[in-house]
Amino acid sequence: MILGITLLVFLVLQAAPGDQASSALGDGASEEAKQQYRQDNGLNDPLVLQYFRFLGKLLQFDLGVTTPPAKSVASMIGSAFPLTLQLTFLGVLIAIVLSLAFGILGALYRDKWQDQLVRVFSIAAIATPSFWLGILLIQWFALGANPMFPSGGIATPESGFGGWLNSMALPALALGIPVSASLIRVVRTSMVEELDRDYVRTAIGNGVPYREVVSKNVLRNALVTPVTVLGLRVGYLLGGAVVIEMIFALPGMGQLILNGITNLDVNLVQGVVLTISVTFVLVNIVVDLLYLLINPRIRTV
């Protein structure tokens, strides 16, 4: 899958409009200088040769350099990617907490007013784009005479954990709430299916407390499907984090990829997209391994 991602990214960027030589040297450069740049960087070689040269550099963890002023793409990603991971982690945490709380509440109070409120919230959250929610959160909590949170930027190291969390709260909420909506429906459906199974009625009939049956058996068995959906939604979270970073002026991968696209910096765009894609693949591998912890019966299959 990772190999396919490298091929797709390479072909898409090769087909993108614009000229790498003109982007690197400027529109005022002579045609001779542009030809020399293409020759020196192998841009005149066949695409197959360019692709395998690109793969060879990747195996050495060499993502190349940006267009002048030349900077190491790997070092730039190393500085920006941790912030994107932090934002994604907080978004995942918010999505998990909301989905478990509301999903379990809706299942336990099926078709009652609590369940109806959960449905209304999930439908409203699904219909809310993260970038629009981010703008609303800025208007509600970051503007006015007494703002509760900063409207953008990341806290300095001197601010400590509290300052960091304060600056990341609104972006994480804008990222996590829309994702939690789909998870709420999945958690509720899985819980309802488990609650209707025979072993639940048998356990309760044998005198096992209802709360214990739900917490130790029903919830654990119902988590397999939500965990699968969460693994797939991590890709949305990573992509959404790039957009949210632009709204809240966070110096993460969003700023890098915007600069790369604006300047037609192929190396920078390739590096950012590949980093996010490989992270998504690795996260889904971790999700597959979590199945063994959630449902031990899978180990014997």
Residue-wise pLDDT for 112-136, tens only, equals 999 899 999 989 888 888 889 999 9
pLDDT for 149 beyond 60: yes
Q: The domain 80-296: what is its CATH number?
A: 1.10.3720.10
Write the single-letter amino acid at 169. A
pLDDT score, position 73: 87
Residue-wise pLDDT for 45-59, tens only, equals 888 888 888 888 888
pLDDT score, position 171: 92
Residue-wise pLDDT for 229-282, tens only, equals 887 788 778 878 888 888 888 888 888 888 888 877 888 888 888 888 888 888
Phi and psi torsions of 65, nearest 5°: -125, 160
Domain ranges of the chain: 1-61, 80-296
Residue-wise pLDDT for 157-183, tens only, equals 777 888 888 889 999 999 999 888 888
pLDDT score, position 296: 61
Band (pLDDT 50/70/90 cuts) for residue 97 is very high
pLDDT for 80 beyond 80: yes
pLDDT for 22 beyond 80: no
pLDDT score, position 301: 52
pLDDT for 38 beyond 60: yes
Residue with more model confidence, 295 or 111: 111
Residues in the chain, total: 301
Mean pLDDT over each residue of the chain, to the nearest integer: 84
pLDDT score, position 281: 85
